[in-house]
């Protein structure tokens, strides 16, 4: 059931099931509008569910949200990104424990920004409860799947869908978690993105582990994010691609992402349709066989001593505060 709000409201409130409610606010709405809408939603929740609801906050921490709703669990991560696997498992377990504690308990999933984060939680919770689902939960599970298909699936990024897939495969036993660390040795970009009138680009590559930028090559990883951006002539950053994945689900020493598998690139005509990104790993930091073939061509120059502020800007500072929204 979706509740349509009167004019002047900027939010989407949906009863995914009788006991799971999704509330989302647009990122660009004025703070005054957000707080006014939040107060009205809080009044509605308290009148309908008294103190029997738990708020799962998927956005940055908001003092006002916690003041209005003391039972708030802050679990946020950056918008349009996938959460760490342990975080999504903790969220699913918290939802399950709260709902099982009392038949009157309901869960409110709160998000300000893209609805993809709500999609991650709903779809992962369906997979999480697959193991212990009873026959009388079939209707709720159907409702959650319908909400996912109709409302949020199309709004999720490739990496968000990838992490949902990984969790599903791990829970179903289709793949086993690889607990041994892998070492990233090489990132190969196949196809030249056309970010310049001359048909070239000036890429800068960043590797993140746990939202912290890693500058050392051959680094042991688990949750990994690779970002690549183009340095334009206006001294601005223009995103080329971004991918997130977990090495625990990597079954070989080479991982290839097609255009549709990467954020930014999947919707950018400047990235060639045949383009792809290949990552090469090994079990150790030692130089591996065949690495002599990874040399850049004569047309590629690399400035390892660059002091350009664009290349050194860490775009994940203060990710849990309002100041860190721009990523």
pLDDT tens digits, 197-235: 776 678 888 888 776 766 433 444 578 899 998 877 666
Distance of CA 272 to the CA centre of its chain: 24
Interacting residues of 54 by C-beta distance below 8 A, sequence separation 6+: 71, 72, 73, 94, 98, 105, 106, 107, 108
pTM of the model: 0.85
pLDDT at 4: 46
Reading the block at residue 28, the tokens are 């660009």
Do 12-172 and 181-324 come out as alike in CATH topology?
no
pLDDT of 289 over the 80 cut: no
Q: Which residues, in sequence order, are bridge partners of residue 246?
A: 223
Domain boundaries, the chain: 12-172, 181-324
- Given CATH 1.10.390.10, say whether it is the number of domain 181-324: no
CA–CA separation, 11 and 103 (whole Å): 27
Q: What is the pLDDT of residue 222?
A: 72
What pLDDT does residue 178 have? 83
- What architecture is the 12-172 domain classified under in CATH? Alpha-Beta Complex (3.90)
How far apart are alpha carbons 1 and 3 in whole angstroms? 7
Residue with tokens 């006002």: 64
Residue 174: DSSP 8-state? S
Mean pLDDT, residues 17-32 = 94
Dihedral sign computed on CA atoms, order 44, 48, 52, 58: negative
CA distance 153 to 272: 25
Question: CB-hemisphere CA count at 13 Å for 46?
Answer: 10
Instruction: Catalogue the active-site residues.
Output: 111
Classify strands 20-25 and 106-112 as parallel, antiparallel or unpaired.
parallel
Kind of pairing, strands 203-209 and 72-74?
A: unpaired
Per-residue pLDDT, 321: 41
For residue range 160-200, list pLDDT tens digits in order.
999 999 999 999 999 988 888 888 888 888 987 888 777 66
């Amino acid at each position: 059931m979706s509740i349509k709000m009167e004019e002047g409201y900027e939010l989407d409130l949906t009863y995914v099931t009788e006991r799971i409610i999704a509330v989302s606010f647009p990122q660009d709405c004025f703070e005054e509008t957000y707080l006014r809408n939040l107060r009205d939603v809080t009044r509605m929740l308290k009148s309908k569910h008294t103190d029997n609801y738990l708020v799962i906050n998927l956005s940055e921490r908001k003092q006002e949200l916690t003041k209005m709703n003391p039972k708030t669990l802050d679990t946020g991560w950056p918008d349009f990104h996938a959460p760490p696997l342990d975080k999504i498992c903790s969220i699913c377990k918290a939802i399950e424990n709260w709902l099982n504690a009392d038949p009157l308990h309901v869960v409110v999933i709160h998000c300000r920004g893209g609805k993809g984060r709500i999609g991650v939680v709903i779809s992962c919770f369906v997979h999480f409860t697959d193991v212990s689902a009873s026959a009388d939960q079939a209707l709720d599970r159907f409702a959650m799947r319908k909400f996912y298909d109709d409302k949020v699936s199309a709004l999720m990024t490739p990496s968000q869908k990838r992490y949902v897939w990984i969790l599903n495969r791990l829970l179903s036993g289709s793949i086993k978690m690889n607990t041994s660390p892998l070492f990233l040795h090489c990132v190969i970009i196949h196809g030249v993105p056309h970010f310049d009138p001359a048909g070239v680009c000036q890429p800068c590559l960043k590797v993140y582990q746990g939202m912290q930028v890693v500058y050392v090559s051959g680094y042991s990883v688990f949750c990994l994010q690779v970002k690549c951006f183009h340095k334009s002539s206006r001294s601005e950053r223009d995103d080329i691609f971004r991918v997130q994945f977990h090495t625990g689900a990597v079954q070989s020493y080479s991982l290839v992402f097609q255009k549709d598998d990467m954020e930014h690139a999947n919707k950018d005509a400047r990235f060639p349709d045949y383009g792809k990104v290949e990552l090469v790993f090994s079990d150790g930091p030692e130089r591996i066989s065949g690495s002599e073939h990874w040399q850049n061509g004569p047309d590629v120059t690399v400035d390892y001593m660059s002091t350009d502020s664009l290349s050194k800007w860490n775009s994940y500072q203060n990710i849990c505060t309002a100041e860190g929204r721009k990523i």
